[in-house]
Structure 1
C-alpha cells in the first residue's frame, strides 16, 4: 500500500524559489534602490528594512508598510520626520523584498516573531511601532510579544480579526485569494491591475500622492518583489486565538476618506488594546502614514509622553 503523499503548503509559491531571481541577484536588487537599505537574515525569511538615523537622543518610528506600498514609498515621510525621529521602514515576510525562504515564515505568529527579532537586532531607542491596515494586527501582536521593549504602538485602518476577514472578502476578493494555489497564482498574475491600477486610487485620500505611490509600486513589482497577499489571507484564516493583549501605550486611528473601509467596525480593534487612544481624520484615506506623516508623528509623541 503506497504511503500517503505529504501535503504541500500553498504558501510555498511565495517563497524565494518563486521570485524569479537567484539569491545573489535578489540580494543586490533588494538593497539597490535607496540609501540605508539592509537585510536582516532569519532562518525562515529575509527581512528588508531601511533605516534613517541612529541618534540615541531621538525616539524611533518603525513602520510596517501596507502593500502595495513598499519601503520605496516612504521618501517623503523620512524627509519630513527624520529631524525628530530615527525612522525604520520594515517589510513583513512575503512583502517587498522580505523574501521568505520557508512557507512557515508567512504564518501570523512566525511573521510577528521574525519582525520582533529584526527590531531587537537594530537596538534603537524608544521605538514606536506603526501598523496600518492588516499590519495593525501584526503590530498589536508584536507589541504583546515585545512589551516594554517598545515605547508604544500605533494601529491604523484596522479592524479586529473578524472585521478584517469581512473586509478582505468584501473588498479584496477574499474568496479567490483564499483558494490554495489558485489564489497565489491568480494574484501574482493580476497584482498590478488589482492593487496598483484599482486599489491605490480607490482607497487613497484626497491629498494622497497617488501617482507617486503607483509609480513606486510598479517599479518594485517589475523588479520581482514578493507580494504574498493570498498566503497572508489563507494563514490569517487559520487563526482562532491571536494572543493579543497590548499593555504598552497605544493609539488607534482611522482615515475616514478610505472608501474601502466604509462598512468596517472601526472600534473593534480596541478589544486588543483597550486603553488605546482613538482618533479619526475626515480628510485622510487608507495610506495615512504616507498621506499625513505629521499626524502620525503627533500620535507618536503623545505616546512617548
Structure 2
C-alpha cells in the first residue's frame, strides 16, 4: 500500500495541470465521482446499446476518437480511464489488485446507472473485466482484447517489464520520474503498422504533459499478486465472452489466446491477423464491424 500512497501524493501534485487541461476537453468528457475515486469518462449518450471501453494504458481517451466516431451513431459509447491512469487520479487506498480493478469497473457502471453493458477491456484490464462480471449484474457481454489467462499474463509481464519496477516504492519512483519514456518505446514494439507510431505516441505524450497519470509500477505489483485460481476470474457461464486477438503483436508471439478459456470456457477467439496489441484502436472500422456482428444496433 505504500506504493499507492506514493502515487497518490506525487500525482496529486499534478492536479493543477489536469484541471487546466479540462478546458480543452471535448463536450462529452468529464470527471465523475465513483466508489474508486474520481474517474475520467467520455460518454456519447443516446439510447443505443451501451458499449463501455476501459482505456488500455498507456493509451488515453483521445486514442478512442476513431472508435467513438465509428460507433456513436448506433451505440451509447462510454470510454473511461482506470484509476491511476490517464486523467483518473490514483487514490491512496487503490492497490490495482484484481478485486480493486473489478470494483472500479463495477462502480463506474453503477454510478452511470448503465444496464446491459458490453464491456470492452484489453490486456490486464481484461482480467479486471472478468472480476467486474462477478461483481456486477450490469454486463450483457464481455469483450476482451489481447487478454489470455491470468497465469499467461503474469509470465508475459515478467518478460516485458524491467525488474526494477517490481521493487516496491523504488519502482514507483523510477516509474514516476521516467514516465514519458515509455510510450514511444512501447508503441514501437506493439503496433503492427509502423505508420501508426506517431499517431499513437503524440496523444499519450500530450496527456502526460497535461498531468495525466501513469502508475504502471503499481499496476505491475497488483498484477503480480493476482492468484490465477481466484474465483473472481471465473466468468458466469451464461455471460457471452469474446476475445479479440491481434496476431501481429510481437510481445505475444508465443502466447496462446485460447488460454483465456481457463477462466471463460465459452469464450470465442476472434483473430485479427493484421493487428498488433490494440486491434480495436489500430483499425476502428474493422472493430466496429466485428462489434456489430456481436451486438446489433437497435432497429431503426
TM-score (structure 1 length as normaliser): 0.88
Q: SS at the partner of 1:163?
A: helix
Match for residue 132 of structure 2 among 138, 142, 153: 142
Equivalent-residue separation in structure 2 for 1:34 and 1:55 (angstroms): 17
Deviations 1:68-97 (A, max 9, x none): 101111112111221121111111111111
Gaps of 5+ in 1: 1-7
Corresponding position of 1:188:
176
Indicate the residue corresponding to 1:114 in structure 2: 104
CA RMSD across the alignment: 2.1
Q: Which residue of 1 aligns with 2:54?
A: 64
Specify the alignment match of 1:255 in structure 2: 246
2:4 matched residue in structure 1: 11
Q: 1:290 aligns with which of 261, 281, 295?
A: 281
Q: 1:298 & 1:189 partners in 2: Cα distance? A: 40
Aligned match for 2:233, one of 237, 244, 260: 244
Q: 1:29 to 1:106 in 2, by over 3 A?
A: farther
1:40 alignment partner in structure 2: 32
In 2 relative to 1, CA 42–121 (structure 1 residues): closer, same or farther, beyond 3 Å? closer
Q: Distance in 1 between matches of 2:5 and 2:219?
A: 12
Which residue of structure 2 lines up, in the alignment, with residue 206 of structure 1? 193
Contact 1:34 1:72 in 2 (8 A): no
The residue number in structure 1 matching 2:218 is: 231
Match of 2:166 among 178, 186, 190: 178
Q: Specify which of 95, 111, 120 is matched with residue 85 of structure 2.
A: 95
Q: Which runs of 5+ in 2 are unaligned?
A: none
TM-score, normalisation: structure 2: 0.89
Verify the 8 A CA contact 1:9 1:103 in the aligned structure 2. Answer: no
2:178 is paired with a residue whose SS is helix
How many equivalent residue pairs?
292
**Distance in 1 (alpha carbons) for counterparts of 2:144 and 2:69:** 22
Please list, as runs of the form range in 1=range in 2, the aligned pairs for 1:261-300 lying within 5 A after superposition: 261-300=252-291
Measure, in 1, the Cα distance between the counterparts of 2:294 and 2:206: 35
CA contact (8 A) 1:129 1:139 kept: yes
Which ranges of 4 or more aligned residues in structure 1 deviate by more than 4 Å? 22-25
Task: Indicate if the aligned counterparts of 2:106 and 2:135 stay in contact, CA closer than 8 A.
Answer: yes
